[in-house]
Structure 1
Amino acid sequence: MMTNSERRVEFSFRLFEGEVLKRMFIVVLIGTASLNALEIKNDLQAINLAGSERMMSMKMLKDYILVAMNDTYKNPKKDLQKTMERFEETQRALDAYVKDPEIAEQLKKVDQMWNNAKNMLESPPKKEEALKYLKTMNILKETANEATVLLTKKSKHGTSQAVNTAGRLRAISQTIAALYMLKTWAEDKTRSSMEKVMKNFRNSLDFLKRALKNDTQAKKVLKNMEKNYLFFSMMEDAEVFTPILVIKRTNRMLKKADDLTRYLVKKQTKGGE
């Protein structure tokens, strides 16, 4: 039988043991969060991430419209929430990395535009405000693009423009998807926007073909992108389209463009994103 003194010692030991375990658990949590957090180590990675915000702007718009249409393919509601979180995480990483005053000021503008977009995305969608949604997300995309362009101009890496342009193909894929989804609400009012994005698509492909003409791996991806360009060029005037087909095609295009962007970053640095 334990004495009162022995009980007190055992009780104190258990308290100490519990506190040690608690502190270990907190350290593990912090360590896991640090591993999961985005960390930018160089300009090319910054260009890659800043450029991804252009894509996310249109991806969120696409998912927002799909949720409003009660479309459950690929769970757009869950994907929307995930992309919103990723956007904010990317902004935090960029804010931590950027030291240049001009770029930092542009990132503040991205934050402001994001607040507007976030308020919209967290509100119930209305069909009559379809073009307003497009305008809001376009402003966010263009504001993020300006930050990406500034990072590209001030980068010392020779391939920064190629990384920027390859990253732009990601945004183009999701802009095409979003515009097709908006077609069901805004009818022909999205035509001028589609013409603009297809022109941007063509120009981006032409630039990358010249810049990466000696890169065998990049040329394979660009060949695939050329097929996507022809596909959507033919679909541009189609009166009827299948949303799932568009989503599948643009998602594959997004994956290829993202792989190309990451490949170009890793080729010039010791590690990717």
Structure 2
Amino acid sequence: MTAQPVILAQTRAGVRTLTLNRPDRLNAANDALLLTLTEELRLADADPAVRVVVITGAGRGFCAGQDLGDVSGRDMTFTEHLRATYNPLIRAIRGLSKPVITAVNGVAAGAGASLALSGDIRLWAGSASLIEVFSNIALVPDSGSTWFLPRLVGYHRAFELMALAGRVGAQDGLRLGLCEHVYPDERFADEVQAYAERLAARPANALKLTKQALNFALTTTLDQALDREAELQQLAGDHWEHEEGVRAFKEKRAPEFVREG
């Protein structure tokens, strides 16, 4: 019997959907899944036909975190494992030149929670939930959770969620700012695709530069952010998208930011 791929990749209308495909394990991550997902992100970044990337899960879970059976008995330290697998993945998502949507279709636990929070846009199904489960096995949140979560909910709420490993359901996730939208399970895949296609129709170069500006501003001073904005604005203004946007405004029509070829 041929083994199923750990990542399913599909492109439609400029949207590359990468599906974690270990549904029998709630898409718990092993090395193959993490390394393949990182490579698929690299390929998507290099493909001019791809304007938006969606990361989601097969079956009823998004990602249950690390598959502990995959690392049991391995001659590798925690530090070595993170630096070889999860850290490159999170860096690839945050450094991608295209918007990344994390479409959380079920439970996102442990490192799966970190993955869920790493997207530029986070869309949740009604049955989705997030659990910073690390403390249940006396470990420290990793894969970016200590960076993402307090920036979304503040230090104290982040510490409570991490210390007590409380489950956050979809509506609470929306209230806390852990996701931008919640959709009913039965419409989730269609709603995610429709949202991604709307994003894919936006000016790709401008969104790439916007992502760069936001990533820079998160860890710098106001003066440095102002200087960086000025530099990036010049790059945006010199691009054909800006000319098209101004022309469309003057002609009172919708701009066309997608060009073939």
TM-score (norm 2): 0.34
TM-score normalized by structure 1?
0.33
Q: Which has more radius of gyration?
A: 1
Higher strand fraction: Structure 1 or Structure 2? 2
Please identify which structure carries the higher helix content: 1
